[in-house]
Chains A and B, each alone.
Chain A
Amino acid sequence: MLSKINSSGLMGIDGYKVLVEVDLSAGIPAIDIVGLPDSAVKESKERVKSAIKNSGFNIPAKKIVINLAPANTKKEGPAYDFPIAMGILCGNSYLKNEDILEDMFIGELSLDGSLRGVDGVLPMVFQAKKDGIKRCFVPEDNAIEASLVEGIEIYAIKSIGQCVAFINGEIKIEKVITDLNEIFSSKKNYEFDFADVKGQENVKRALEIAAAGLHNVLMIGPPGSGKTMMAKRLPSILPDLSFEESIELTKIYSIAGLMKNKGSLITTRAFRAPHHTISGSAMVGGGRIPMPGEVSLAHNSILFLDEIPEFKRSVLEELRQPLEDGKVSIARVNGNMTFPSDFMLVASMNPCPCGYYGYDENRCECSRHQIQRYMGKISGPLLDRIDIQVEAGPLEYKDLSKNITSESSEEIKKRVIIAHQIQKERFKKDKIHFNSQLSSAQIEKYCKLGKEEMDILKSAFDSLNFSARAYHKILKLGRTIADLDQSEKIEMKHIAEAIQLRNLDRSF
């Protein structure tokens, strides 16, 4: 007797339909799983057997063949336990297969028959809705996450016994419904606020400009100057995530297994700050079965690399593709996976290995050679992708003791939102959204300068030792600063301010 149960697998950040076919026939009693299962799937037969038995059902003494179609993609993880169990129960006539042809089952089984949460439910349910599935049965842990998909019924299931009783109409289970509007309209609370930062006004301003044009930032300064503190506050001045962006980010978190007990949708921008010992595949994603890396977890958000020269050179070089394309492609034998990774890079570093060069001469013990090697760890091509280089000077007691309230994140955010809207309007016909993405041809088009402004830029190049790569960066930054000022034209003061944001181009 053959039964067919719908389930789902993951490919990159998207789900795809997996049909679990269970066939019971006469023969030596055994359970075989085919369709490229990995070891977690192969072991599932043991879990399924115990779970069925402990739920008070019988397993027939027959030969059971389970096929996971399509047979050419690798199936991984324990999420197929639940559909396999349902298939066997259908075969043993506890259920009618016709009742559940338009349903989908996802979940790991415990030996007592209860369900455990799995990763990646959100993209799977999304795909299910596209495939015309009507009802989705998911473990309780994943129910809220799954309910973010509208137009499909979600049921939170405790155990297989409960599920069978519900399908046979013996008991009632309430649909899980999440009010998306409520999630979105609620005020976002950020842990940190710029109002707490005293002093460092110029760095704050640089971060505001960075947020307005989504420019990547490098902060240079001695230990204790508040680089990390300010970076942590960046999410609070970026505009809120749109619904699409939220869903995209939540999908990635779902796949990475970071959604368990997290509640529903991720509505605030993430702040990812990996430690500098991170490996290449943890950074950009990878593994035998590709998983999203930090760059994808920071999608539409902020990736903060503290002490960037301490990162492995190879890891930093791998950042180049995601920085350029806004996505990571990982090639594996059974296909290419693409994870989105449109993040804003915020990096910090000390001026030398000990951290005090240029700020406290008596304290710095580094040799010239050491300092050069330290600065040289960030390659030119990577530096080329960082528009803003700002210095954070050491904080002095008088800065901390000042009794001035700084601007709150809320106020800064208002300006940033306006700048974002201006850019959106301007780039309507182009494929880009922000000034930081301008190509050199587009710079010619959108960053026209008057004669006076041109002169300023020229004399800056002559007298301040700017390198050639700074030219386009200054124009882009000038554009963003003008947008923040809601000015159509890039004025002298905008260019002049932009020049102050390019510190590393100058030889001190």
Chain B
Amino acid sequence: MVDIYYMWLNNFMGISVEVKHKLIEYFGGIKEIWEASYDDIVESEIISYERAEQLIISRLNFKYEREIEFLEENGIKFISLENCEYPKSLKEISSPPLGIYIKGKLPKEDFNFVSIVGSRKVTNYGSLICEDISSKIARKGVVVVSGMAYGIDSIAHRSCLENGGKTIAVLGCGVDVCYPRSNESLYRKILENGCVISEFPIGQRPERHLFPIRNRIIAGLSKVIVVIEAGKKSGTLITAKKAIEYDKVVMAVPGNLTSKNSEGCNLLIKNGSKCLTCVEDVFEELDFKESSQLKNYEKEIIPLAEKEKIVYSCISYEPISFDEIALKLDISVREVMSIITFLELKQLIKKVSGQKVIKNL
């Protein structure tokens, strides 16, 4: 029953979480707020007349049977602050959400959670690094937490799932709403191997001001927050700032000084965040004893034909165009094109924009 009260107060969007916590403190419990009269609430002087009125009205309109029925039908769970399933790490942050909606299966907290956050617009470099880190930590059984936005977020989720890992997407809208829409298939895959969570009520549309609130959950859930590519003024930096506030380990992937997309990351490093140079840095923070286990997953050596070897030797992490390869090796561009397909199929290289290729990590 306590959960129900929490659900009601959590769903009331008129006041911030901080104020809700103040109310609980003032009244001494969630049940007391539910039972408080209009005068009691006004007397507390925590919220205005109008808000108090709205709160009372929302209490009258709150049909908990219907809510619960809907949640059950859609396989969504609501876990309140007082529920034993509520993630402990989240409880520790200042003004944690009163409750969270979970669609899918929340991985146990015995697992290590790592949040990977970054820019919506990614560069080749960002996506390469993100893929690498996410897939490697996923293979070690680490749960990847991110926000299912475009760019780094989606790549982190996807690479994690592709490597058999579990992942959590924290949404800035209701858990039943897939935003952005084009991530529909990713959303479904996440539900199969992890969960989406949100503190916002069912059916809540994504709104601008909700994303920073959501970011604090991403920061709160994990021990380690990895920042890959962030602009100078970005939501990613808000997440990092929150994480620092919550005493989490923030690790930033350094970038080129001239790259706008890495300005935020470089700024974090300058201000004392850990500089991430290889995936082992993450393991170290998670206190993984030996990283030898990873070696089992190292790519086996793939036999290459003579020509493939020669072409492969030209390709580095710096994008190189088909023309340049052809010119360097003095072979025709059509030959380069077909060899590149073979190398690509062997997953040794990756095609990036501008008819260029880079080595896969």
Contacts and interface: CB of A to CB of B under 8 A. Distances in A.
A394 B356 CA distance: 11
Contact of B323 (A201, A463, A481): A201
Interface string A390-419: 111110000100101000000000000000
Size class of B's contact patch?
Answer: 20 to 34
Identify whether the interface residues of B are mostly helix, strand, loop, or mixed.
helix
Contacts of B342: 456, 496
Of A200, A204, A351, A392, most B-chain CB atoms within 10 Å: A200
Interface stretch (B83-91, B134-142, B257-265): B257-265
B334 A359 contact: no
A493 interface: yes
The 10 closest A-B pairs by CB, nearest first: A358-B353, A393-B354, A496-B338, A496-B341, A201-B333, A493-B338, A500-B337, A497-B338, A202-B322, A391-B355
B211 interface: no
Contact of B333 (A205, A364, A404): A205
A464 B353 CA distance: 14
A358 B351 CA distance: 12
B338 A393 contact: no
Contacts of B344: 463-464
Given A201-B326, A368-B150, A460 B341 contact: yes
B123 interface: yes
Interface string B63-105: 0000000000000000000000000000000000000000000
A459 interface: yes
A224 to B, nearest CB: 13
A72 interface: no
Nearest to A402: B327
Interface in B309-361: 321-323, 326-327, 333-342, 344-345, 347, 351-356
Given A199-B323, A393-B321, A500-B341, A362 B353 contact: no
B107 interface: no
Contacts of B326: 201
A359 B354 contact: yes
Contacts of A495: 341
A279 B322 CA distance: 38
Given A199-B323, A393-B321, A221 B151 contact: no
A358 B354 contact: yes
B353 A391 contact: yes
B122 to A, nearest CB: 9
A372 B338 CA distance: 30
B120 interface: yes
Interface of B: 120-121, 123, 150-151, 182, 258-261, 321-323, 326-327, 333-342, 344-345, 347, 351-356
Contact of B356 (A201, A393, A460): A393
A145 to B, nearest CB: 43
Contacts of B336: 202
B337 A200 contact: no
Given A201-B333, A500-B341, 12 more contacts: A199-B323, A201-B326, A202-B322, A221-B354, A358-B354, A361-B121, A368-B120, A368-B150, A393-B356, A494-B338, A495-B341, A500-B340
Contacts of A200: 323
A359 B259 contact: no
A116 B309 CA distance: 71
Contact of A460 (B258, B321, B327, B345): B345
9 contacts: A201-B326, A202-B336, A222-B354, A368-B151, A393-B321, A394-B354, A404-B327, A492-B338, A497-B338
B337 A497 contact: yes
Interface residues of A, number: 43
A499 interface: yes
A456 B345 contact: yes
Contacts of B345: 456, 459-460, 463-464
Given A199-B323, A202-B323, A497-B334, A368 B355 contact: no
A498 to B, nearest CB: 9
A471 to B, nearest CB: 15
Contacts of B182: 372
A173 B347 CA distance: 77
A221 B354 CA distance: 7
A361 B356 contact: no
A14 to B, nearest CB: 44
A201 B322 CA distance: 8
B257 to A, nearest CB: 11
Given A201-B322, A221-B354, A368 B333 contact: no
Given A201-B333, A205-B337, A368-B151, A361 B354 contact: no
Interface in A351-398: 351, 357-359, 361-362, 364, 367-368, 372, 390-394
Contacts of A506: 351
Nearest to B229: A361
A454 to B, nearest CB: 13
Contacts of B334: 205, 481, 497
A361 B261 contact: yes
B354 A499 contact: no
Given A361-B260, A368-B150, A497-B334, A202 B354 contact: no
